[in-house]
Structure 1
Amino acid sequence: MLMTLGGEGYILTARAKGVREKDILKHHALKNAMLPMITLVSLQCAAMITGSIFIETIFSWPGLGLLTFDALAARDLPLLEGIFLMDTLVVIVANLVADLLYSVADPRVRVGSDG
């Protein structure tokens, strides 16, 4: 069963033209919903990195989170700098991928436009 879509103008116009609900969902609603989803997925990368510290420490799972906690406890600053640098690079790459996916998901968004 298809969900009922909201009263957006482009949805109402497509319905008035007689477009099927499946096609409205596929061609109109999904395209406009992709940009916020891409943003949320890229922001979740930072949350996964931060959350791993708590999960790995609580359950004593070996990984970067537990290594970070142990480095904090031992005041191992060079190791912490390396971990934070790697975490920062992951977040930057995730944001770059999200920015590049914007132009794929919505052709109105151009990468590197002059103006």
Structure 2
Amino acid sequence: SDTCGRLVLQCESKGWYPEPELLWLDAEGKILSAGPTETVRGPDDLYTVSSRVTVEKRHSNNIICRVQQRNINQIRETQIVVKFYFTSDPDFTTLLIIAAVCIGCTLIFIW
């Protein structure tokens, strides 16, 4: 995070075949602009995907990481509740994150 009230979130999901799609969504279901999805294919031929997104305080508090494979109609997602709290000092930002992690998804918070 930084003093402008931004936070970088990373979402990772393992054990997919075929290769899935990873999307970041806001509470209204609109796709958020994020970094490129990194894909790794393991020796078991299963795919691991991960992606990072930068969340700013102007965004909705509810951010969703969705991993989906449309061909087999398989979707996994997790909702991340991000709350920004500011002290009286404008140069210092305290961030509180509450995450509900779905099965098969791992969330990593990068400060």
Is this a same-fold pair by TM over 0.5? no
Bigger Cα Rg: 1
More helix per residue: 1 or 2? 1
More strand per residue: 1 or 2? 2
TM-score by length of 1: 0.28
